[in-house]
Amino acid sequence: MSHSAPSRPRPSVGRVVHYLSHGTPVRDDGTQAFPAQCRAATVTEVDEDDPTRVGLLVHNPTGNFFHPLAAGGSSQDEAKQQPGSWHWPEVV
């Protein structure tokens, strides 16, 4: 197993993180109608063997959806390169 060590505290149930949404497919010219975006998400469960993998309740502006461990969960990616991953909210 290879994943970078979390640079922030471990996630725990009830914490709010960001989920990187899936944008629309990249066109031939490299543009996207809708790029990936940060969405608020509540941690619903944490993988005991890999605490960087969590289940999420993702809060979209027009509705919520569940992303449970049983369906693969969401892995931490602080670089925000992988749609479907989560990261700690940016400090603004």
Q: Which residues bind Zn ion (CB under 5 A)?
A: 18, 38
Neighbouring C-beta atoms of residue 21, cutoff 10 Å: 16
Q: Report in angstroms how near the CB of residue 69 gets to Zn ion at its nearest.
A: 21
Residue closer to Zn ion, measured from CB, 18 or 53: 18
Q: Left (φ > 0), alpha (ψ -120 to 50) or beta: where does 70 sit? A: alpha
Q: Which is nearer to Zn ion, 48 or 90 (CB)?
A: 90
Nearer to Zn ion, 39 or 53 (CB): 39
* Nearest approach, Cβ of residue 38 and Zn ion (Å): 3
CB of 90 to Zn ion, least distance (A): 5
> What value, to the nearest 5°, has the Cα angle with vertex 37 and ends 34 and 38?
165
The residue with tokens 């063997």 is 49
Dihedral, CA of residue 51, residue 12, residue 75 and residue 77, to nearest 10: -110
